[in-house]
Amino acid sequence: MTEFVPSSFEGIPVLNNQRSWFFNYAAYRKSGDIDRLWEVFVAAARLVVAWKAAAGITDDMQSAAEAAVQDRCVSDGGVRSARDTFVRAYDEAMEVWGTAWNLTTGLFWAHPWDFPSLDSHSRLYIQERLGQKILTQKKGSPCDGATYLALREQLTVLFSGESYPVHSFPALSLEAGRYSSALTAGSATGRALELCMADGEQEQLHGTDDAGCQGSTDGADETVQLVRPALPYAVQDILDDGCFLDEAAVERMLKRLREKKNLILQGPPGTGKTWLAKRLAFALMGQKDEGRVRAVQFHPNLSYEDFVRGWRPAGDGRLQLADGVFMQAIAAAQMRPDARFVVLIEEINRGNPAQIFGELLTLIEASKRNPSEALELTYPDADGNRQLVHVPENLYVIGTMNLADRSLALVDMALRRRFAFVALEPKLGDAWRRWVVGQ
């Protein structure tokens, strides 16, 4: 059979195929994981054959085994059987860490004309541009096999419409990339949302929460490296890491942080403020997940424009409005309301907190963390829109404060009202002695 060389490759899958790579680190791989994944793709191949058989489509290059499967599908109405087998295999594969939404991208690469990829860009395009909902049993989790096939079948029907934006799954993938790029071009908020999805999602890896969106959608930036699942982390882990405080003291700190939403560890140098702040963040989240912790150092030259939103060089001689660390953290937390996020502020009194926070100093108060208390920021967003902003319930702030440095700014009452303060002092007790002796 003769095939012509294509003049355009716009019908070829454009996503980097590293998203279809599911082999995990050996330490996190279970004995049956590879077999589970293998069964999905075997079931997918048989389902494609069944679809073709039901539609009366023949393939001149079909193998004898495929022909046998096709004959069986025709004789026993095997589409339903093949479909059920695929759904079971798909759902079992979802238990393998590292699959999640990535599994759909693997199916897309194996059968680009038969299965859609539900990577972050495609999901955005399907829901916002095509108006099709992607139902999931749990927020932040991928859909199950039955839902995936139902969406696939729904899209296949819609592709036949002449006025429909796309007419195939490869075309959908291509347009999804373009759509996502257009939305995020020049937008710092968009980039923050993308990083969120990249960190937590890595296309929604099991063992993490949903980080995740990618950067720009050209092939290079779509590369995803599987990360190790976030390890559970609790108060006992803080103590095991070498904390000299007792369990009750650490529990009290976490309780105040949960209630107040904002906590400052204050004390002289060398009392472990920074060390403890990060581990309190992990214990609060219940996981040792670096992707949900943002750290920033306050200093005299730091401004509202750096921390919240302000003008930045665009690289072409112009200035553009860009979001700072705190607004990026807000965007990330709003994308995943089921997970906790933490902003760590080193030396919070080395800058001018009231000036740096601006109107957000009001919004970080625990009682004002809801949309009804939202305020406009000093600057509009990158698109020139003045949207109301509120600090979500799942975003926490932990600061450190050095009391020994005379060059530090005074902390006003407005800040003190919104933070719980914990004093740290040198502890040379039994815990310290055991740690020293153990070394």
Q: Which domains does the chain carry?
A: 17-183 (no CATH), 231-438 (3.40.50.300)
HEC string of 167-191 equals CCHHHHHHHHHHHHHHHHCCCHHHH
Judged against a pLDDT cut of 70, whether residue 40 lies above it is answered with yes
Q: In this predicted model, what pLDDT tens digit does every residue of 366-415 receive, in sequence order?
A: 999 988 999 999 888 877 788 899 999 999 999 999 876 655 556 677 78
Counting DSSP H helices and E strands in the chain, the numbers are 17, 11
CA pair distance 388, 396, nearest whole angstrom: 20
Query: Residue 283: which pLDDT band, with cuts at 50, 70 and 90?
Result: very high
The answer on pLDDT for 205 being more than 60 is: no
DSSP 245-298: S-HHHHHHHHHHHHHHSEEEEEESTTS-HHHHHHHHHHHHHTEE-GGGEEEEE-
Q: Which residue has the higher pLDDT, 353 or 16?
A: 353
* pLDDT 10s digits, 141-182: 889 999 999 999 999 988 888 878 888 999 898 888 888 777
Give 303-323 pLDDT, tens digit per residue: 999 999 998 887 667 888 888
Beta bridge partners of 321: 311
Per the model's pLDDT, the better-predicted residue between 14 and 139 turns out to be: 139
pLDDT higher at 216 or 274: 274
Burial class (CB in 10 A: 0-12, 13-18, 19+), 309: buried
Residue 242 phi, psi dihedral angles, 5° rounding: 120, 20
% of the chain at pLDDT higher than 90: 31
Q: Tell me which range, 191-195, 225-229, 351-355, is most confidently predicted by mean pLDDT.
A: 351-355
Tell me the CA distances in angstroms from 141 to 55, 105, 205, 267, one per residue in order.
33, 15, 9, 42
Tell me whether residue 7 is exposed, middle or buried, using C-beta atoms within 10 angstroms of its C-beta: 0 to 12, 13 to 18, 19 or more.
Answer: exposed
pLDDT at residue number 261 = 95
- Dump pLDDT digits (tens) for 330-368: 998 998 888 999 999 999 988 888 899 999 999 999 999
Q: How far apart are CA 145 and CA 266, in angstroms?
A: 51
Q: Is the pTM of this model over 0.85?
A: no
- pLDDT of amino acid 321: 86
In this prediction, residue 433 has a pLDDT band, given cuts at 50, 70 and 90, of low
pLDDT of residue 84: 92
In this model, does residue 123 exceed pLDDT 80?
yes
Q: Which two tokens stand for residue 223?
A: 């590369």
The SS3 call for residue 404 is: coil
Share of the chain above pLDDT 70, in %: 72
CB 307 within 8 A of CB 354: no
pLDDT over 60 at 71, yes or no: no
Total count of residues recorded for the chain: 439
Which residue bears the tokens 């257009």? 182
First-residue to last-residue Cα distance in the chain: 73
